[in-house]
Structure 1
Amino acid sequence: MPLYEHVFISRQDLSNTQAEGLVEHFSTVLSDNGGSVVESEYWGVKTMAYKINKNRKGHYAFLKTDAPAPAVQEMERLMRLHDDVMRVLTIRVDEHGESPSVQMQKRDERSERRERR
C-alpha cells in the first residue's frame, strides 16, 4: 500500500487531550477503511505565520500512514468537514524515516547549520 504523511492544524482553544483525541479519531477512521497508522506525533501548540479563521495559534499533529487511496480520501474529507480542524496537508512518500520528525528532535540533535555572519 502507498505511504503517506499527514499534518493537520486544529483550533487553539482545544485542550491538549481534545487535540490528541482528534488524532485518535482520524486514526480509527483510517483503520476502519483498511489503512493503518505507522506512527503519530503531537507537536503541541505553535504560532502560525498568519491568522486562519481568526486564530493566531494552533495544535499541530503529524501522522505517518500506510493506507489505500480511498481510505486517505475519506479521512481528508472528514477532516475538512470537522469544525475543529483548520488546515490539512497530505503528502505521499516513498518511505517513512526511522527517526522522529524534525519538530520532535532537540535543537542540538539536528544537523549543524553554518554560522551566520
Structure 2
Amino acid sequence: MRSYQSVLIVKSDLDEAQVDRVLEKITEFLSKNNGSILKAEKWGKKRLAYRINKSRFGYYLNVYHTCESLKVPALEAAYKLYDLILKFLVIRLTDKQLELAMEHEYEVEAEEKKRSHVR
C-alpha cells in the first residue's frame, strides 16, 4: 500500500465540529477501502490567493494517509462530490518523504516541550 498526502481547502465558515466531520468522512472512506490516516493536521483559516466559489478564505487541512493506488481516483471523486471541500490536492509520497513528515511532528512537539520548560 502506498502513502499519500492530501491537502484540502474547506469552507472557512465551518466550526471545529464540522471540520472534524470532514476528517471523519475521509477516515470512513479510507477504512472502507483498506486505507488509514497516519496523521492529520489542521492548518487553520487562511486567506486565499484568489477567490474560490466566491470565498476569500479557506480552512486548510493536511492529511497523510495510506491507500491502494487503484482507490485514489475514487478518493478524488469523493472529494469533488463533498460540497464542503473547495479544492484538494493528492500527492503520492516516497518512503523518505513520509519519514520526514513524521519526524517533523516529533521535532515540533520536542520544541514545544523545551519552550514550556524554559518559561
TM-score by length of 1: 0.80
Q: Which runs of 5+ in 1 are unaligned?
A: 110-117
Identity of aligned residues (%): 33
- Runs of 4+ with >3 A deviation: none
**Distance (Å, rounded) in 2 between the aligned partners of 1:80 and 1:88:** 8
**Distance (Å, rounded) in 1 between the aligned partners of 2:20 and 2:46:** 15
Residue 93 of structure 2: aligned partner: 93
Residue 16 of structure 2: aligned partner: 16
Q: Residue type of the partner of 2:7?
A: V
TM-score by length of 2: 0.79
Question: Quick check: 38-47 or 65-74, which moved more?
Answer: 65-74
Alpha-carbon offset, residue 35 of structure 1: 0.7
**Distance (Å, rounded) in 1 between the aligned partners of 2:50 and 2:29:** 30
More helix by share: 2
- Alignment root-mean-square deviation, CA: 1.9
Is 2:34 the counterpart of 1:29?
no
Number of residue pairs matched?
A: 104
Residue 69 of structure 1: aligned partner: 69
Residue 46 of structure 1: aligned partner: 46
Is the contact between residue 2 and residue 66 of structure 1 (CA under 8 Å) also seen in structure 2? Answer: yes
